[in-house]
Structure 1
Amino acid sequence: MKKSFFLFVIAVLILSSCKNDLDIPNPNNPTIDNFWKTATDAQNGVNAIYSTYHRVGLARNQFFLTIVRSDEGFSTSPNSILINNFDVFNVTDYNLWETTTVWQDLYIGIARANQVLDNVPDIDMDATLKGQLLGEAKFMRGFFYYYLATLWGNVPVLVKTPLPTDYPSTTHQADVYAQAEQDFTDAAAALPEKYDDANVGRATKGAAYGMLGKCYLQQHMYSEAQQALQWLVEGDGKNIYDLVTSYRDNFLEGTENNKESVFEFQNAVNPKDNHDDDASGNPDNLNYGSSIPPFFAPRPIGFTDGQARRQCVWEFLTEKTTSGGRDPRVDASFIYDSTDVRGPEYSMVYGQSFASRNYANVPGDPVAVATTHTVYFRKFLNDATSVGEVFHSGNNYRYLRYADILLLYAEALNGMDQTAKAYSYVNRVRARAGLAPLPPGMSKAQFLERLKHERLTELCGEGHRWEDLVRWGDLGTKLVSRDPSFAYYQDKYALLPVPQYERDVNPKLEQNPGW
């Protein structure tokens, strides 16, 4: 043992004295000079863009920005930072980890996409595969810019791999959307309609058209949105996508990538139980699952950092099915005292009845206090297959579903004064839930108000409510009756503040108005 240690010390001293002579690159480490050479390199580069979805900002924290801040959700988290910043609009830390991790992950994804787009064109490989891979990179870069435009609005747009000396300026929100639209347009032209079983989950032509339509609609560009979404609803896409019979199948691990899925984050259970913090740390120990379930699950199963307002449940109960029953989407969307219509004795929470768990009323939710028990979002949870939750859930996040596409298409048609034509697409979504067709004769304004209800009941707790409220111009004190937190809302909260550490190193970056 002593001899071994002595030899080790001698070796260290020799290496130290000869550092300049022995400090040579490891030929096994990939670099720009030796990596972008083959079709395998191109494929691996694109796969690295997809892996961005597993980093902690996009795998977890983005849901606090898109769900908890909206009128769907709130927080009773012991983490007061979450409550102060995502729920009651009291942002004081512009470098808040829960927010900046989302910003960082979006730009990491953009950087990875730009490396593919900069280097893959020069690789000698099959032209069809090359076009597909470049289309995937364009799609994902557009996806990341869509998120940035929606959440931060005015951000730098980078379309080339940056140099350390680059200091990009702020790009205004309309131009950020324009970049995303160009990327989705290019991707739609290059991507296949579907893949073989080994490649399911990659971006498709339908996903590109769907995201292009979302971009246009978010800016009230109704005609452009209708044209983008038309391929999915009235074109070749209608032979690929459809609504699944069981609404709940959209949220179970065993029924992923079904015919209703237009684009979903592919999650997988790691061979070992990795904590999701590895997603932002050691790249060799990346967590390929989602960590959102324990943060939305009821205590003591989870932390309940985000949960649903009872008002959402009431929205489902405003009408019955054609057979006189309850909207079946309510039990797929929430865990609460009546997930089973027979009540708390029959409503199961990870293997035990709601009644036996004795959940108290939720403090801080005046809409629910003294009248109802608490409500939990269910769609991301694994309560159907497990008695607990983990930080590496394999349940995919169905970001873009065909039901969403149909409702977006109806909204675009209504915006073009084609309200009568828009009815059929909303009625398809309602029919799956067993509801009667919409009453005829609504005006354009009445139909939009009805769409707001339809989108809440179909998509509640899936991460789209914030962008919907922004698009409709509904953010503000008008929401106080649904969500008391909006009493603290100011116009500046429509966009998040640009992280201060970014502005400290780049004086060209502008802060968002009001911050």
Structure 2
Amino acid sequence: MRLKSNFAAAGLVGLLGLTTLATTSCNKDFIDLNDPTRVPTSETYQDSLSIATGVVAAYSTLQDIYGKLNTNIGLFAFTEVPSDNSYSVVDGQGVGEFEYFTYTSGNGRIQSQWAATYRAVARCNVILSRAPAVKLTAATRNRYLAEVKFIRALAYFDAVQIWGDIPLVTGEIATISDAYTFGRTPAATVYAQIEKDLMEAQADLPVSYTSANDLGRVTKGAARGLLGKVYLTEKKYALAESTLRSFLTDYDNTTYKLQPNYADIFLTTNEVNSEIIFAVRYSKGGLGVGSPFTNFFAPTSAQSGGSGASQYNSARQDLLDAFKASGTADTRAVASYGGPVTVTGQPTYYTKKYMDVPTTTGDGENDWIVLRHADVLLMYAEVLNELARPTEAVPYLNRVRTRAGLAGVATTLSQADLRLQIEKDRRLELNFEGHRWFDLLRTGRALSVINAHFATYQIKVGASVVQLQPFQLLFPLPIQEIQTNPVLTQNPGYN
């Protein structure tokens, strides 16, 4: 089943895991989008075709999480706009509130991200519940279950970094009243479930797929690489080291390798290239599964092929200055951003990683890269350094720097100096790919880095320089969820 084109036939609505399924029928999508309160029926998912389509439906929810026109702006609003990498020129749909940390629990983007997350969880839980009873070969059934375990783990991993303690739903929910019995689960328990899902997933996933129709499906390497990032985020350095080391032992320069030219990573004519471990896939052409990022990030219609330009994610001067400090030899700069373009009298810079000519507004081809080989190399350098092995870490950092046209750093760097160098290179290497805010959270440097950024560039709300407060390291839960579910509580500092 072709993954990208079949997203169009995969729709499902979930409210905190409440699934919305209808019985299959000829010549119609097997899932009913119109009734958000329908309870699953026993007739649904009784054959292999409906299970296969349901797995694709689970994949399609990742478009909602990472960004889709008229559904959800996407994860970048939480991972890039609040960081020192980017800002929103316009305040459309509340995105501008993220750069100043002025959002409230009523912000629509926070609500839509929550809904997208639990829609993904719901679809995965349905497959995990129903597939064991459907007639399938053991290998096929196990692979389907592994794929949705990965998707569920990825959705929860993003969510736990955004909100901290969140409801942990691991089974089908049959009624609305049942849905409202789920309160917040401690983050440590959520992480334990993420680890479990990924460990089980990698056991039953293939290293690669033989059919071009399956390009973009989850692989064994994707599950192992994401598990390594989860361990690193939890500061479980010994487990992170062994997991990432096994990834590199099994896949480095064979299954996955750096693209020789940095800019080639992001070409729509080079999707699912050797560097891509996992990406959320999109396809333009009026199928309803196009990528919105060209339009979301373009400053004017000239950069979006004549279609819309929203300026939701423009490059901050701080990032431009970081590239300038890196030196003119750094090939990542010219591949990462363009400009200046004058908008309302001001010079504006924009990311070039998502440039395409959409068929119509929001219907581009660009995939959203979740995990790539350079990320793994930099993570392995980071974990080795945290284990007080900086000399071993440097060669992995230098492989990424060499590809960027830069000289390697010395193996004599101290642990503290290497820690900062890895942070700098992660920022430049992965800019606009949804890593910066989570990286700063993981290293415990969000408060100091972001507040220094606000002070240096005199970024103000009214007459006062913006200051990130400790409670704002987590986002508020959506007020709609708090008001609807009596057992949900709010993060401290928010109403």
**Same fold? TM cut 0.5:** yes
Q: Which residue of 2 aligns with 1:101?
A: 112
In structure 2, distance between residues paired with 1:262 and 1:153: 26
Opposite residue 263 of structure 1, the aligned amino acid is: F
In the alignment, structure 1 residue 47 sits paired with structure 2 residue 56: yes
Question: Mapping of 1:143-154 within 5 angstroms?
Answer: 143-154=154-165
- C-alpha distance 333-482 of structure 1, shift in aligned 2 (>3 A): farther
User: Aligned with 1:99: secondary structure?
Assistant: helix
Superposition deviation, residue 318 in structure 1: 2.0
Corresponding residue SS for 1:335? strand
Tell me the equivalent position of 1:345.
none
Instruction: Note the alpha carbon deviations across 1:274-329, whole angstroms, 9 max, x for none.
Output: xxxxxxxxxxxxx2111122121012441212201122122122244xxxx53111
The alpha-carbon distance between structure 1 residues 125 and 387, as it changes in their structure 2 partners (threshold 3 A), is closer
SS in 2 for 1:35: coil
Q: Which residue in the other structure is 1:429 paired with?
A: 400
Q: Which residue of 2 aligns with 1:308?
A: 315
Partner of 1:510: 489
Deviation at 1:99, TM superposition (A): 1.6
> Could you say if the C-alpha distance between residues 438 and 499 of structure 1 is closer, same or farther in structure 2, counting changes exceeding 3 Å?
same
CA distance in 2, matches of 1:57, 1:96: 17
Out of 71, 76, 82, the residue aligned to residue 84 of structure 2 is 71
Query: What residue is the counterpart of 2:412 in the other structure?
Result: 441
Percent of matched pairs sharing the same residue: 31
Q: Could you tell me whether the CA contact under 8 Å between 1:293 and 1:381 is conserved in 2?
A: yes
Give 1:6's aligned residue.
none
SS of the residue corresponding to residue 144 of structure 1 reads helix
Mapped partners of 2:161, 2:65: distance in 1: 19
- Asked if residue 297 in structure 1 is aligned to residue 307 in structure 2, the reply is no
Aligned amino acid, residue 396 of structure 2: Y
TM-superposed deviation, 1:452: 1.0
Residue in 1 that maps onto 2:186: 172
1:380 counterpart residue number? 354
C-alpha distance in 1 between matches for 2:438 and 2:274: 25
Please give the per-residue CA displacement for 1:328-355, whole angstroms capped at 9, x wherever unaligned: 1101100124xxxxxxxxxxxxxxxx6x
**Partner-residue secondary structure (3-state), 2:279:** strand
Q: How does 1:86-165 map to 2 (within 5 A)?
A: 86-92=98-104, 94-164=105-175, 165=177
Q: How many residues align?
A: 439
Alignment root-mean-square deviation, CA: 2.1
Distance 1:334 1:122 in 2: 50
Q: Aligned pair in 2 of structure 1 residues 389, 244: CA closer, same or farther (>3 Å)?
A: farther
Question: Which residue is 2:364 aligned to?
Answer: 393
Per the alignment, residue 34 of structure 1 pairs with 43
Equivalent residue, structure 1, for 2:468? 489
* Match of residue 216 from structure 1: 231
Contact map agreement 2:286 2:359 (CA 8 A) in 1: no
CA distance in 2, matches of 1:27, 1:222: 47
Answer whether contact 2:394 2:410 (CA < 8 A) is retained: no
Cα deviation digits, residues 8-65 of structure 1 (max 9, x gap): xxxxxxxxxxxxxxxxx98737763223222212211111001112337643332111
Q: What do the CA deviations read for 1:55-111 (whole angstroms, capped 9, x no partner)?
A: 37643332111111111111220538332x21111123x132222111101100000
Stretches of structure 1 that go unaligned for 5 or more consecutive residues are 1-24, 273-286, 338-353, 363-372
Rounded to whole Å, the distance in 1 between the matches of 2:319 and 2:420 is: 16
Change (3 A) 1:431 1:508: same
Q: Which residue of 2 aligns with 1:369?
A: none
Q: Does 1:330 align with 2:301?
A: no
Letter in 1 for 2:173: P
Q: For residue 440 of structure 1, give the secondary structure of its aligned residue in structure 2.
A: coil
Inter-partner Cα distance in structure 2 for 1:308 and 1:175: 36
1:276 maps to none
CA contact (8 A) 2:290 2:365 kept: yes
The answer for the alignment partner of 2:324 in structure 1 is 317
- Secondary structure class of the residue paired with 2:80: helix
Shift of residue 123 of structure 1? 1.3
Asked if structure 2 preserves the Cα contact closer than 8 Å seen for 1:139 and 1:187, the reply is yes
- 1:232, 1:241 within 8 Å by CA — same for their partners in 2? no
- Equivalent position amino acid for 1:45 in 2: G
CA deviation map 1:146-188 (0-9, x unaligned): 0111111110000101132321121111221221111111111
CA distance in 1, matches of 2:93, 2:148: 38
Query: How far did residue 232 of structure 1 move?
Result: 2.1
Contact 1:250 1:398 in 2 (8 A): no
The alpha-carbon distance between structure 1 residues 183 and 246, as it changes in their structure 2 partners (threshold 3 A), is: same
Using the TM superposition, give the Cα deviation of residue 227 of structure 1 relative to its aligned residue in structure 2, in angstroms.
Answer: 1.6
Q: 1:204 aligns with which of 192, 207, 219?
A: 219
State the Cα deviation string for residues 197-228 of structure 1 (Å, max 9, x = none): 22110001111011111111112111111122
Question: Structure 1 residues 489 and 26, CA, compared in 2 at 3 Å: closer, same or farther?
Answer: closer
**1:122, distance to aligned residue in structure 2 (A):** 1.2
- The 1-side partners of 2:150 and 2:294 are apart by 27
Residue number in structure 1 paired with 2:429: 458
Return the alpha-carbon distance in structure 1 between the equivalents of residues 55 and 358 of structure 2. Answer: 36
In 2, the alpha carbon distance for the partners of 1:216 and 1:442 equals 25
The 3 A distance-change label for structure 1 pair 45 and 298 is same
What is aligned with 2:262? 247
Identify the residue that residue 187 of structure 1 maps to in structure 2.
201
Secondary structure, aligned partner of 1:242: coil
Residue from 233, 239, 262 that aligns with 2:248: 233
TM superposition score normalised by structure 2: 0.84
- Give TM-score, length-normalised by structure 1: 0.81
CA contact (8 A) 1:185 1:208 kept: yes
What is the one-letter code of the residue matched to 2:101?
F
In structure 2, what is the Cα distance between the partners aligned to 1:508 and 1:98?
22
Give unpaired runs (5+ residues) of structure 2. 1-21, 32-39, 303-308
CA offset at residue 250 of structure 1?
1.3
Alpha-carbon distance change, 482 to 134 in structure 1, aligned in 2, over 3 angstroms: farther
Distance 2:94 2:113 in 1: 16
Q: Distance in 2 between matches of 1:445 and 1:289?
A: 43
Pair 1:27–1:454, CA change in 2 (3 A): closer
Which of 419, 424, 446 is matched with 1:475 structurally? Answer: 446
Larger-gyration structure (1/2): 1
What is the rounded CA distance, in whole Å, between the counterparts of 2:481 and 2:137 in structure 1?
40
Work out whether residues 106 and 148 of structure 1, in 8 Å CA contact, stay in contact via their aligned partners in 2. yes
- Determine the C-alpha separation between the residues in 1 that align with 2:215 and 2:301: 36
Residues 119 and 64 of structure 1: CA distance in aligned 2, closer, same or farther (over 3 Å)? same
Residue identity opposite 1:313 in structure 2: L
In structure 2, the residue corresponding to 1:147 is in which secondary structure? helix
Q: Equivalents in 2 of 1:183, 1:26: separation in Å?
A: 29
Partner SS state of residue 371, structure 2: strand
CA spacing shift, 1:402–1:361, aligned 2, 3 Å: farther
